[in-house]
Amino acid sequence: MRAELQAERQRAALLDEGDAAPIFPAQALRAKALAARRNRLLSMRREGVIGDEAFHRVEEELDLAELALTGRGSSVAR
């Protein structure tokens, strides 16, 4: 695992995308899980399994989880 983190740091340094933070394996896995949950939520809405109110409530939770994952909602200055 340590070798994977070091390799990710090296790739991030090579990319040098300014303010972009490196994506670590666990973070990437959580991002994929959130994307899968969001896709399922959209399917449930499209199929009429859930209504608008429930959809928006769960969508908000997913949005907040995504913000926490990416750090965009953080009040800490970079």
- Does the structure show a pLDDT above 50 at 28? yes
Whole-number Å distance between alpha carbons of 50 and 67: 24
Which residue, 36, 69, 30, is CA-closest to 44? 36
What pLDDT is attached to residue 77?
A: 39
**Measured between alpha carbons, how far is residue 69 from residues 20, 31, 45, 53, 74 in Å?**
13, 7, 24, 25, 10
User: pLDDT confidence of 68, banded at 50, 70, 90?
Assistant: confident
pLDDT-based confidence at residue 9 (cuts at 50, 70, 90):
low
